[in-house]
């Protein structure tokens, strides 16, 4: 049996725009998804998670859970020898919540299954293989979630390149709207908006890219107030693209009113989560008092 884990992630800047090649800053968080893989002799892949247990015959590795099965198919393609597997997934993160859980489960599955089958993959190969899996499921995918899940730390993404930024210790509160949302649907929504308003949406993307560039400088210097202000602007631009759910909007306002440096949607939107950069626990307490599911976390993994 082999076990592997990978962290979830949040965007300080740049979700959606990053899919079109603009810079983004993504942070691996101190919450992981754990995957164990063990061989079986039954000619099936059995996947067990909070959603229950599914048994899929080796000759028909399609359907749900999509990311796990697509990752296993990739490994079988590379090894050329499909075998029966029992896969167990453990996670405390809410699924489909914008916290990079699809990337984390994909990376952890690829890591565990490749090791079990004697396939040696470098971190870079893992990043690009995981991105292939995401593209297969979502149509489009950036390197953000998969590079954070593979390398940890704080990363700058630019098209097909990722770069580790120096580690900084800061606290964020994550608030969950309680509304799951499919990344593929939101990517499609933004794609359509761009098709109908190319110049305007590209201008928004450009501005988001500029925020990521400036954000990287403030992050390096630990200028949290300025960083927070840029996050607020990024959030407004995501709002302009209509991906911010009213419950996320509410959590953002609550966090800012409780003294957060800045707060924004994180991930694809349409529900999901917000992150607030905080100096104390007041935003966390206030979100919880109002009945939101919220927790504090930090960047995970030194780079």
What residues make contact with ligand MEV under the rule CB under 6 A?
15-16, 18-19, 98, 141-142, 144-145, 183, 187, 267-268
To ligand MEV, the closest distance from the beta carbon of 260 in angstroms equals 21
- 114 CB contacts (<8 Å, ≥6 apart)? 75, 78, 120, 121, 126
- 285 CB contacts (<8 Å, ≥6 apart)? 258
To ligand MEV, the closest distance from the beta carbon of 48 in angstroms equals 25
CA gap 139, 157 in Å, rounded: 19
Smaller CB separation from ligand MEV, 44 or 235: 235
Q: In DSSP terms, which residues pair with 299 in a beta bridge?
A: 29
To ligand MEV, the closest distance from the beta carbon of 18 in angstroms equals 5
Smaller CB separation from ligand MEV, 45 or 108: 108
Smaller CB separation from ligand MEV, 55 or 161: 161
CA distances, 100 to each of 7, 30, 42, 70, 259 (Å): 8, 12, 32, 17, 26
Q: What is the DSSP letter of 180?
A: -
To ligand MEV, the closest distance from the beta carbon of 109 in angstroms equals 17
CA gap 157, 12 in Å, rounded: 12
Q: Is the dihedral of CA 91, 284, 96, 165 positive or negative?
A: negative
Smaller CB separation from ligand MEV, 20 or 292: 20
To ligand MEV, the closest distance from the beta carbon of 102 in angstroms equals 8
CA gap 71, 129 in Å, rounded: 8
Smaller CB separation from ligand MEV, 145 or 228: 145
């Amino acid at each position: 049996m082999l076990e592997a884990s990978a962290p979830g992630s949040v965007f300080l800047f740049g979700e959606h725009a990053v899919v079109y090649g603009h810079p983004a800053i993504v942070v691996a968080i101190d919450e992981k998804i754990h995957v164990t893989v063990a061989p079986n002799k039954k000619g099936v892949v059995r996947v067990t998670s909070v959603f229950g247990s599914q048994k899929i015959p080796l000759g028909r590795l399609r359907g749900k859970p999509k990311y796990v099965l697509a990752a296993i198919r990739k490994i079988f393609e590379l090894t050329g020898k499909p075998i029966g597997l029992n896969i167990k997934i453990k996670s405390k993160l809410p699924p489909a919540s914008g916290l990079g859980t699809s990337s984390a489960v994909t990376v952890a599955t690829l890591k565990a299954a490749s090791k079990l089958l004697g396939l040696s993959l470098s971190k870079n190969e893992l990043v690009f293989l995981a991105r292939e899996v995401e593209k297969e499921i979502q149509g489009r995918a950036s390197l953000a979630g998969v590079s954070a899940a593979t390398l940890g730390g704080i990363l700058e993404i630019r098209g097909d390149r990722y770069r580790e930024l120096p580690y900084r210790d800061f606290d964020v509160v994550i608030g969950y709207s309680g509304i799951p949302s499919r990344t593929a649907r939101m990517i499609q929504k933004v794609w359509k908006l761009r098709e109908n308003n190319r110049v305007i949406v590209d201008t928004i993307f450009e501005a988001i890219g500029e925020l990521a560039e400036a954000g990287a400088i403030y992050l390096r210097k630990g200028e949290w107030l300025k960083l927070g202000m840029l996050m607020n602007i990024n959030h407004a631009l995501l709002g302009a693209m209509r991906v911010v759910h009213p419950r996320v909007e509410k959590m953002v306002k609550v966090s800012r009113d409780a003294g957060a440096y800045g707060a924004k949607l994180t991930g694809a939107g349409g529900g999901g989560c917000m992150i607030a950069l905080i100096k104390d626990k007041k935003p966390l307490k206030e979100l919880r008092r109002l009945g939101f599911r919220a927790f504090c976390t930090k960047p995970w993994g030194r780079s």
